[in-house]
Amino acid sequence: MKHIRYALTPQMLDYDSIGQMWVPYLMYFHSPQYTSTALNTDSRGFRVTYKGADKIEDFKNIKDISFSILVGGSQVFGVGATHDKYTIPSIMNERSADLWLNFGGRAFSSTQEFQLFLFYYQHLKNIKKIVVMSGLNNLLLYYTSRNYSKELGVFFFQSEYTKRMNQSQMCFKRKAMKFVLEPFLGTALDYGRISMEELKQRIFSKNPLSISPKAGGEASNKDDLLAVLERDIINWKIFAKALNIEFHYVLQPMADWIKKNKSKEEAALFEALDCHQGPSWAAMKNKLNYECYEWFNSKLQDICIRQGVNYFDMNRALSDMHLDGEWLFVDRAHCTNQGNALISKILCERVI
């Protein structure tokens, strides 16, 4: 898989190598001051943005001018671009008189996107517009997480976080019990709290794994997914209205949600990823199909209408451009330079 991926998209090696740092509240963010050919981050972990020849980083030289921000997950961050100049915010800086900053967080949910903005708002005093281009991560988390909370949502790496936190709180006897029984009873059990009676039931059951919580996907009602999204959209709306900031919500594009024939490069990359990647990529292929997109787009649009928020579906806009055979994606969720350029063009001409 890596041979095909790095042969067709060598820049992905830089994205695979960036790593992350653990931070309060947000859980994680990009490694700060990461340097490579394809991508670079500043001292806080934000991706460097360009405005012409000027490199924008560490919120320098923006205090006395108005600017706008593009918020989202890894697609906004620019995974797949061959250089910082070819991310969506940097290309928008070439097409627009406005200055756009990159507020993309890799693997961020809608809640983390909003939190990131809140933590750094102290540096952002002259905001004209906020565009959130998001949605895919919340949907993907719903299908891959066993613990989607209507109030708290869920985040990527939550299982690892929970596992380590529970492990640190266990006494020696429970750690030993977990070491012995986990290969047979699975990782979903809370070995730090399970009672002896519950443990006996699982051990002597004919199929102990069947008693365990569902190992990922649709563990909650879809209303929980929508409730978290609506809450975060309301938070953006309240903040933007109070500060007289123009606000837009855009459903981000996904390869299988756009009506076009794949390029030969896309076909080869998707096939390689489908065969070798983990549950997120499997869910993206098998669950996040066009029928799912139509449902999700309709529900998001309903939320934005109900809340009086400007809504735009980037998938429909790209489908209308008749892009058969064009190489727009490096995988189902992330774009090539050409894909970023088309998205930037649409944002500048039809959204903002």
Query: What are the structure tokens assigned to 85, written together?
Result: 């100049």
Residues 252 and 319 in one domain: yes
pLDDT at 219 over 60: no
Per-residue pLDDT, 217 = 46
How many Å separate Cα 179 from the centre of its chain? 33
β-partners of residue 129 are 246
Average pLDDT over residues 299-319: 98
* Structure letter (DSSP) for residue 84: G
Residue 193 CB coordination number (10 Å): 11
Intra-chain end-to-end CA distance of the chain, in Å? 39
Spatial distance between the Cα atoms of 329 and 326, rounded to a whole number of angstroms: 9
Domain residue limits at 261:
2-145+220-351
Q: Count up the domains in the chain and report the number.
A: 2
pLDDT at 278 over 90: no
Residues 164 and 125 in one domain: no
In a domain, 155, yes or no: no
Residues 72 and 198 in one domain: no
Query: What are the structure tokens assigned to 266, written together?
Result: 């896309």
Residues 135 and 239 in one domain: yes
Least confident range from 157-171, 240-254, 256-270, 298-312: namely: 157-171
In a domain, 150, yes or no: no
* Alpha-carbon separation of residue 211 from 51, 60, 176, 191, 206 (angstroms): 56, 55, 22, 14, 10
Per-residue pLDDT, 162 = 59
In a domain, 30, yes or no: yes
Residues 205 and 224 in one domain: no
Pair 276, 338: CB distance under 8 Å: no
Confidence of residue 300 (pLDDT cuts 50, 70, 90): very high
pLDDT tens sequence across 38-74: 999 999 999 999 999 999 999 998 878 999 999 999 9
Spatial distance between the Cα atoms of 333 and 252, rounded to a whole number of angstroms: 9
**Which residue has better confidence, 39 or 172?**
39
In a domain, 252, yes or no: yes
Residues 35 and 180 in one domain: no
Residues 125 and 18 in one domain: yes
CATH (domain of 72): 3.40.50.1110
Spatial distance between the Cα atoms of 116 and 327, rounded to a whole number of angstroms: 31
In a domain, 152, yes or no: no
pLDDT tens sequence across 95-129: 999 999 999 999 999 999 999 999 999 999 899 99
Residues 176 and 242 in one domain: no
Residues 18 and 96 in one domain: yes
Residues 49 and 117 in one domain: yes
